[in-house]
Structure formats: structure tokens, C-alpha cells
Structure 1
């Protein structure tokens, strides 16, 4: 079915996305809304799918991966309560869209992607659009990036069966980690805070993400 908004400009579609998919569904953090208003999501999806870039559903980006639904991205960013001074680790660069949002909202972003081609494409897109406070590496996201730890916040864009211990170890005291937990048919977003070295878990809402896979991808 063709969207009735197909012929709108990307700017108009983006404004409508923020209003109808985010604000009207309870997203109220002004910094999240402003970032999602400013970052051009269509630049992070394959050209044939750009007309659907501002619809409220995930889109394929290659290598069996997706760019997540805008609403669920906003939920994650709102609950992790990012500050402008934060150093953030992102697990699962994917297209680089969430990386760009984090770049807008935080001081430093360190992002890990297991697929070399996705990492290269995301890096090129982010550089072209001027997001300069980002470092990307190809590697095993579940192992984090210990050379740059500790992090104020960690955002995991793939589902795990349980909280990844290596990532929790790289979270500073008082830091927050957002991670989808559970099998493909029954995942939920969890906000994990590090309090006195222990994990304080808040279960948020249901979600669906691709699984977090160990190691680098064998080939792309």
C-alpha cells in the first residue's frame, strides 16, 4: 500500500514523524525530540527505501540487519537519560542512524559493528553529514570497547539472552545501560543502572531486535 504522504518532502515527513509517532505517544524529552527532528533518517537507509524512512517500522539495511522503528529508538534514548557531557558506547552501529542521534546528544560516541561493510557505510555517511565526535570499530559488540571505558551510558541495539557482563563492567558507577533482553518472540527493553557496583534493573516495554551475535561477521 502506497503511503498518502509519499510525495511530501523529507523535512515535512520528519516533522510529522516527531509529532505523530513520538510526541503523541508520550516521548517528551526535548533533547530526544530535537535530535530526531534534526537527524536525516533517510540518509541512513538504502536509496530504494528512502520514501519509507519516516514510517513507524524497521527497514532492512543489508547483512540481515535493520534500522529500528523510530518510536522504539526514542523510548530507548528517553529512558537512558543522556547528558551533553556523556561518553557513550553503542553496540550495533548498523546504518549509523542511532549513532548520529547519540552524536547530537552526547560529547563522545564509541560504536561497535560486527559487519565490516555496514561499519564502513555508516562511517562514510556520518562523516559526510558532519558527525565528528564518533569512533567506529569492527568487532564483537558483546565485549565492548575496554580501551575507552568507563562509559556514562551504553546503548545496545541487538537483543541478548541476559545482561552482557563485559558491558556492565565497562559502565561507570551511576551509569545506565539500555538493552533488549530475551528470545526473538518475547523481548523486552531493560534499563540497567550501576548502583554500588550492582545492577538495578527496570523493565520497560516489549520490543523486537535482531540478536546480538558473538564475534565479527565471517564475511560481508
Structure 2
């Protein structure tokens, strides 16, 4: 039995994403057009539009569609802006960001995932997005960006990430301690930065950005 992916995509938008207060027209249009099934393993395509995180290998997961919708709406990149994505994963959110922004530079710690994500983006015709294998905590982009999207949680927000933002730029990041983490938008200001709390969630940690174990006597 073949799956009607177009119908599944429509249902995802109307039954999962809209009810979670994702109402921006550009974001909804992007999600309604992007073939999510093209970014998951063949064996998981039947679950491409399910309200669940999907495994990618190396213990990594593809975010739930509702969370991806909230991230896109929080960041709202424009056609003149540059984006850095930390943790490309499958390349799906990279593609969504690339449809909204001028360019996307994405990094992924696992070389095989980075290569697969780049291939998927090329197959979908995205010439304004690139994925490279790099560890965000041991890498320097050598430039700054208007928008940064961090696809995994951090115990505390790394100062180096904030420094990669252009003045007036913004970064989506989930920080804190599981299971009650804070999804936030960090705004780069002339005098530093300010953190805007968005909603509560729970994500796996970015490798190397986990909480320091507490020792008790």
C-alpha cells in the first residue's frame, strides 16, 4: 500500500503544527511544500510525518515536526539573511531554513550524516545551503551570521555561539537541565545579549555541552 505523502504533509501542518500556535504564513507554506519523506531513511518513510522524533544513527534524532515549526517561527529568517545551523542531522530543517533565508551554513559532528544531508539538499535543488562535518565546540566559522539555530540542548549557552551572531542577530537554543529545559531566543545587542524565553521542552544534549556531573558526599 503506497503512502499519500502530500496528504500526510497536509495533515502534519493542520493537525500537529498549527495547533501548537505556529501560524506564520511563510513557515506554514515551507512545511507544506517540503517533502519530509526525502530526508529520512527508506525504512522510516512511513513515519516521516508522525508526531515523533526519528532515529538518524549515532544516537542522533530528527526533531519532531511541531518543534521544527516552532523553531522556524521563532527565528523567521528573511531572504536577505545568513543562517548558521548547528547540528544538521537529516538536513530537513536545513532545507526549511534555506527556503526562507539567503544562505545556510550547517555543521554536523558525524561525517556520514553531514554527507547524507548534503546529498539530500542537492537532490532537492538547494544551492544556497551547505553542510560540513565539524564539532561546534571545536570549530570557528571565521565569520558571523544573522541567525543561528542550535538543534540540540546545552546546559548553558556557549558564549562563542553568541559571538558568531551579527549585531541585531538572533539564535534559537534550548538550555538548562532535563526534563524541564527552556527553549529561548538569544538576541545579540550592541552591549551584549539578552535571552527571551519561548517555551519549555526537553532535547538530547549537544555533545560536549552536557551538565557537569554534580558530586555529592
How far apart in 1 are the matches of 2:182 and 2:36? Answer: 24
Find the residue that maps to 1:187 and give its secondary structure.
strand
The corresponding residue for 1:24 is 19
How far apart in 1 are the matches of 2:166 and 2:56? Answer: 32
How far apart in 1 are the matches of 2:39 and 2:203? Answer: 18
Contact 2:3 2:46 in 1 (8 A): no
How far apart in 2 are the matches of 1:101 and 1:129? Answer: 11
Flag structure 1 segments of 5+ consecutive residues without an equivalent: 1-5, 216-220
Contact 1:91 1:112 in 2 (8 A): yes
Out of 155, 176, 193, the position equivalent to 2:187 is 193
The corresponding residue for 2:213 is none
User: Could you tell me how far 1:146 is from its partner in structure 2?
Assistant: 2.5
Find the residue that maps to 1:159 and give its secondary structure.
strand
Contact 2:76 2:100 in 1 (8 A): no
How far apart in 1 are the matches of 2:139 and 2:76? Answer: 20
State TM-score, norm by structure 1: 0.90
How far apart in 1 are the matches of 2:139 and 2:150? Answer: 10
The corresponding residue for 2:154 is 160
With over 3 angstroms needed to count, the CA separation of the structure-2 counterparts of 1:142 and 1:91, relative to structure 1, is same
How far apart in 1 are the matches of 2:116 and 2:94? Answer: 13
User: Could you tell me how far 1:169 is from its partner in structure 2?
Assistant: 0.5
Contact 1:140 1:214 in 2 (8 A): no
The corresponding residue for 2:47 is 52
Find the residue that maps to 1:19 and give its secondary structure.
helix
Flag structure 2 segments of 5+ consecutive residues without an equivalent: 210-217
Out of 205, 209, 213, the position equivalent to 1:211 is 205
RMSD of aligned alpha carbons: 1.6
Find the residue that maps to 1:182 and give its secondary structure.
strand
Map 1:94-105; keep pairs closer than 5 Å.
94-105=89-100
Find the residue that maps to 2:85 and give its secondary structure.
strand
How far apart in 1 are the matches of 2:191 and 2:84? Answer: 18
Q: Does 1:142 align with 2:122?
A: no
Which portions of structure 1, spanning 4 or more consecutive aligned residues, are displaced by more than 6 angstroms? none
Contact 2:179 2:201 in 1 (8 A): no
How far apart in 2 are the matches of 1:125 and 1:143? Answer: 26
How far apart in 1 are the matches of 2:40 and 2:191? Answer: 39
User: Could you tell me how far 1:69 is from its partner in structure 2?
Assistant: 0.4
The size of the alignment, in residue pairs, is 209
Tell which has more relative contact order, 1 or 2 (C-alpha 8 A, sep 6+). 1
State TM-score, norm by structure 2: 0.91
How far apart in 2 are the matches of 1:28 and 1:142? Answer: 34
